Structure 1
Amino acid sequence: MITDVSAQNFPLEEVPYMSATAVEALIRPKSRWTRFAVVAGPGIVVMLADTDAGSIITAAQSGAESGYRLLLLQAVMIPILFVVQELTIRLGIFTGQGHGHAIRQHFGPIWAWISVSTLLLACLGALITELSGIAGVGALIGIPNWLSMTIVIIGLTSMAYSGSYLSVERIALAVGLFECVFLYVAWQAKPDITAALTEALKMPLTNSRYLYLIAANIGAVIMPWMVFYQQSAVAEKGLVAADLPAARWDTAIGSVVTQLIMAAVLVAVAATIGRVDPGHSLDTVQKIVQAITPLLGERTGTLLFALGMIGAALVATIVVTLTAARTLGEIMGYKHSLAQRPQEARWFYGVYTVTLVLGGLLVTSGVDLVKLSVGVQVMNALLLPIVLGFLYTLARRALPEPYRLKGAYAVVVGIMMAMTAGLGLYAGIIGTLT
């Protein structure tokens, strides 16, 4: 279905660029494990960002309202997520371009702006959600919103201005791994496995609220900015054909981990609030924490939730702000790489900084985090036909012949994308209108 590649069998004349980083990639060690250690990063980072503050809150809301009835969806989304993001790897490697740049080249500036408009809308919604999540955690320990936002903005701005792509990637990986505490939280919640498996197969598809949560969960897994970020990150990191197998493993591992975390949050809340007060709706971060503290203790529960939420929100904030700044640079023509100093790429760093500051200001104005988070994920689901449509067409058109999406696999991918986007669109519209 997908052929293996190596530096030896890929004709370098078909690669439209050859940066110094890419040249270094060609002489990377041949050992699988060594190469994986060098290549890994973009896939796991974008997947940890995928399980962002909004996704965690959406999973918690799903567990509180529907118990385990949305658990099966978390497993079904793993292969879909991998298939979608694997195409961004191919496009990043074999075009050497970010997603916005590729759309502009193959469809023209008008379509590029249409696509980027959907991206910026998703980025703005996601950024407010991430920063609101951080503010909510700060409120748990008595830190006012304005102080939380000030610390985050200064910290993330300093990181971008003083680091290269690799240093930012390592920071994102480090903070994102804190999300794994939710696996421990779910284990400590001691869910009834038999009841969970039985309930997971009960899907009330005629219930409009359930459909709304389906749309929210689909939008929480496949987000527009993920497609843009991973393609740009792969291109900026200089990955080449020989890196493709390792990059796929990077993405596959990330796909499993992110959905395990989503499932863990859903299970933890379903086993607590969902069990003692089924159908209960959450409206604050504090109520989510209260769902897990009876089993873990107030201090331990609060600490674990805070670590997981901050890790999720910070890695997603890094990814979202970089994606917005990079993609605007791709279609407007300004320099847009972390490899360039702030003096060389003023617009890139300026957009990055302004985006963070605006997000922080909006959060300090006060917002209903839970409703916003679920609403943003539903919006992501409604945008999927545009995002997946461009991705599928580029994979059919922009890749060199040996790596182009074609044949039976193209049919399978097309059906999978159409069904996912169609379900998200249908569930989002029905759930919103009823």
Structure 2
Amino acid sequence: MSIRDSAKLFGPAWIALLADADAASILGGLSTGEEYGYKLIWFVMLLSLPIFIIQEASGRLGAIAGKGIGELIREHYSTRISILSIFPIFLVDFFTYLSEYAGIAIGCYLIGVNPLFGLIVFFILHVLVVLTKNYEITEKYLVVISVILLLSALIMVGPKLSFTGQDVFYFSTSKNFLFFIAVNVGAVVTPPCMLVYQSSATAIKYSKIGIDNSKKTSWIGIETLLGAIITELIIVLSEMIGTSIGNIDPIDPAQLLYNLGSVHYIFGITLISAGFLTLIVVSLSSAWGLLE
């Protein structure tokens, strides 16, 4: 596949996967790093595989059928089942909104912005982006935000990127260890909204591009795998930061500000970009799921 074709198709899978590295997941990674250092990196990166498998199937549905998951459920089963399937998504989305706005508030505090003012600003931006009613334009915004998220995470951990003397593989059957395993699974396991987003966004975008289906499905696999690996890498980077902050409450912004040192600005930007990206993706997936 040519670079030009890849550029035309790029977007839906990357955005869906990067939105999985949300503010809650980053704070969860920070807490894991506090407790276990680098010892769970192997497990976090291993989670790329199930995420890839599930999301790739969602993208294929959108590319080949030209329809989102909600519409396909309605057509192949019934309207009742499609309605029932959307209720859990709305429930998950509600709590996702709460966690992402909490992450944005913490991020604002870390960069020196009043959290209440920051929440108002990002709520307005959230509404404005969603109300563009043009996926192509919205996608451009989301790609920019996802790049900011990735770059800020890399810059944040750059000076600390060292595996010297670190144990990167560990396993235990202790309750505490299994709890943190569950935390990481819960943080990155693909929520329904990401499946809806990738299938619907792919259907909308790919239907306007005159490229063979074989090339489309091939690219979906590549982009989804890349997104899955990068998503887990961002969580790993947050765990690396967690190793250096001591035993603190990761959701206490004052403690974070004091213990993060010089990287608190970058960590704040990471939280804000992660939270905002997920808010937009969740909003679009909810709207598509309901309309379909």
Report the TM-score, using the length of structure 1 for normalisation: 0.62
Partner residue in 2 for 1:94:
64
Partner residue in 2 for 1:247:
220
Instruction: Call closer, same or farther: CA 1:255–1:53 in 2, change over 3 Å.
Output: same
Distance in 1 between residues matched to 2:186 and 2:145, nearest whole Å: 23
Distance in 2 between residues matched to 1:185 and 1:88, nearest whole Å: 32
Does 2:133 align with 1:155? Answer: no
Counterparts of 1:54-203 in structure 2, within 5 Å, are 54-162=24-132, 164-180=134-150, 181-197=152-168, 201-203=169-171
Whether the aligned pair in 2 keeps the contact of 1:35 and 1:246 (CA below 8 Å) is: no
Does 2:182 align with 1:215? Answer: yes
Gap runs ≥5 in structure 1: 1-30, 331-434
Cα distance, 1:144 vs structure 2: 3.6
State which structure, 1 or 2, has the greater radius of gyration over its C-alpha atoms.
Answer: 1
- Is the partner of 1:162 in helix, strand or coil? coil
Distance in 2 between residues matched to 1:115 and 1:183, nearest whole Å: 37
Cα distance, 1:110 vs structure 2: 3.5
CA deviation vs aligned residue, 1:152-203 (integer Å, no higher than 9, x gap): 1222222233352111111011012122222232231254434232xxx222
Distance in 2 between residues matched to 1:231 and 1:130, nearest whole Å: 23
Amino acid paired to 2:164: I
Partner residue in 1 for 2:288:
326
Partner residue in 1 for 2:237:
264
Instruction: Call closer, same or farther: CA 1:115–1:133 in 2, change over 3 Å.
Output: same
Amino acid paired to 1:205: T
Distance in 2 between residues matched to 1:130 and 1:78, nearest whole Å: 22
Does 2:265 align with 1:303? Answer: yes
Distance in 2 between residues matched to 1:39 and 1:53, nearest whole Å: 27
Superposed CA RMSD in Å reads 2.0
**Runs of 4+ displaced beyond 6 Å:** none
Whether the aligned pair in 1 keeps the contact of 2:89 and 2:286 (CA below 8 Å) is: yes
The sequence identity of aligned pairs, in percent, is 25
Partner residue in 2 for 1:44:
14
CA deviation vs aligned residue, 1:58-87 (integer Å, no higher than 9, x gap): 111111123223211111111221111110
Cα distance, 1:141 vs structure 2: 4.5
Amino acid paired to 2:250: L
Distance in 1 between residues matched to 2:76 and 2:183, nearest whole Å: 31
Whether the aligned pair in 1 keeps the contact of 2:19 and 2:278 (CA below 8 Å) is: yes
Whether the aligned pair in 2 keeps the contact of 1:191 and 1:267 (CA below 8 Å) is: no
Cα distance, 1:39 vs structure 2: 0.1
Partner residue in 1 for 2:193:
225
Instruction: Call closer, same or farther: CA 1:90–1:108 in 2, change over 3 Å.
Output: same
Report the TM-score, using the length of structure 2 for normalisation: 0.89
How many residues get paired?
285
Distance in 1 between residues matched to 2:233 and 2:144, nearest whole Å: 18
Gap runs ≥5 in structure 2: none
Whether the aligned pair in 1 keeps the contact of 2:193 and 2:285 (CA below 8 Å) is: yes
Which has the bigger relative contact order, CA under 8 A and spacing at least 6? 2
